[in-house]
Amino acid sequence: MKRKITLKHIARELGVSISTVSKALKNSEEIGSDTKEKVQAFAKLYNYKPNNIAISLKNKRTKNIGVIIPDIVHHFFTTVFRGIEKYANAKGYNVIVCVSDESFDKEVINMELLANGSIDGFIMALSSGTQLKNDYNHLKEVTEQGIPLVLFDRVAEDIKCDKVIINDKKGAYNAVNKFIKDGRKKIALITSEDYISVSRERAAGYKEALLDNGIAYDEDLVLKFPSMEINEKLIEDFFERETVDAVLSVNEIFAIHSMRYVQSKGLKIPKDISFIGFTDGLLSKYASPGLTAIAQHGEEMGEIAAEILIDKIENDMEEETYVTRVLEPTLIERGSTVN
């Protein structure tokens, strides 16, 4: 087993001091050219690579960024992650991922763990547990220590930090407008409880679009799931109870299940009923018919978040100015709506 070689080894072997080796490898002007050559040749021969940990300790910079997301097996989050990873890597940063599993406690634990020197900054989407509890002290503590934080997608108003979100409200608004333009009259919304920030925004857009078009908001046409978990029974009950000609869903899963159910009841999509779902993921693309979707541009979101974060890390001017970047959603039309 070849152990990793250090500056000290090189110094001892070549009969020079550690400082000389360090400087020689950095091509410092201070060192004579023959010594430099000797050291560099030796280092190359033994494949010397500086120890990241030692460097981190020295500069108090780890070149790691911490990403905390509620779930990794989730198309949107992985898409964002890809954007983060892409940008970060290009800038020489590595990414440490922790999964909060939608739990407040795990989010706190992971964050505290990473905050003790392991990372230079955080990018995260709040867990539903955290949004439900509405407790952001762990975030406050981190930012108070001067660790930059960028929130994406699932954010909270009262946290002072940079944010990257999409205009969820507008996405919903546009979707409902499209339904109305297509002549739909009874437009349902399938969503989760309001404590999820994005669901709240989407619900607001849905409502506003209805009202702006002179359609009354009818609470009976809104199906609210208590969590992000699917519950077939609620879907069946809803469609047995209500007769609608368009459905806006805050996620793909709810939409796909609903489509299947109404299809099993003999309804034709999009003739009898149209569907639009948030998050343009694999399911939307491969459903039959394809699900018209509101794309959230996850990769771009990730890149922007990483860009903002790394900028903060590398130029940490003390001024506390925070930006919120709002991305515009895009409607991807597929077979589940008429065109």
Site of interaction with DNA (CB under 7 A): 4, 6-8, 15-20, 22-23, 25-26, 30-36, 48-51, 54-55, 57-60
Report the partner that residue 94 touches, choosing among a second copy, DNA, none (CB closer than 5 to 8 A by kind).
a second copy
Q: Print the binding letters for residues 234-273 with a second copy: x by CB under 8 A, - otherwise.
A: ----------------------x---x--x----------
Q: How many CB atoms lie within 10 A of CB 310?
A: 23
* Cβ–Cβ < 8 Å for 196, 154: yes
Of 15, 29, 33, 145, the residue at the interface with a second copy (CB under 8 A) is 145
Give min distance, CB of 35 to DNA, in A: 3
Separation between Cα atoms, residue 107 and residue 114, nearest integer Å: 11
Residue in 154, 148, 151 with CA at minimum distance from that of residue 163: 151
If one asks whether residue 3 binds a second copy (CB under 8 A), the answer comes out as yes
| Pair of tokens at residue 241 | 């109870």
Give min distance, CB of 224 to DNA, in A: 47
Helix axes 104-115, 137-144, angle to 10 degrees: 10
If one asks whether residue 211 binds a second copy (CB under 8 A), the answer comes out as no
Q: Spell 86-95 as b/e; 16+ CB within 10 A means b.
A: ebbeebebeb
| Pair of tokens at residue 244 | 């609608």
If one asks whether residue 223 binds a second copy (CB under 8 A), the answer comes out as no
Separation between Cα atoms, residue 262 and residue 127, nearest integer Å: 32
Give min distance, CB of 266 to a second copy, in A: 14
Separation between Cα atoms, residue 23 and residue 290, nearest integer Å: 61
If one asks whether residue 51 binds a second copy (CB under 8 A), the answer comes out as yes
Residue in 303, 255, 316 with CA at minimum distance from that of residue 282: 255
Give min distance, CB of 316 to a second copy, in A: 10
Report the partner that residue 283 touches, choosing among DNA, a second copy, none (CB closer than 5 to 8 A by kind).
a second copy
**Position 304: which residue type?**
I
Give min distance, CB of 213 to a second copy, in A: 32
Residues that bind a second copy (CB under 8 A): 1-4, 47, 49-54, 56-57, 62, 64, 72-75, 78-79, 81-82, 85-86, 89, 94-99, 110, 112-118, 141, 144-146, 256, 260, 263, 282-283, 286-288, 318
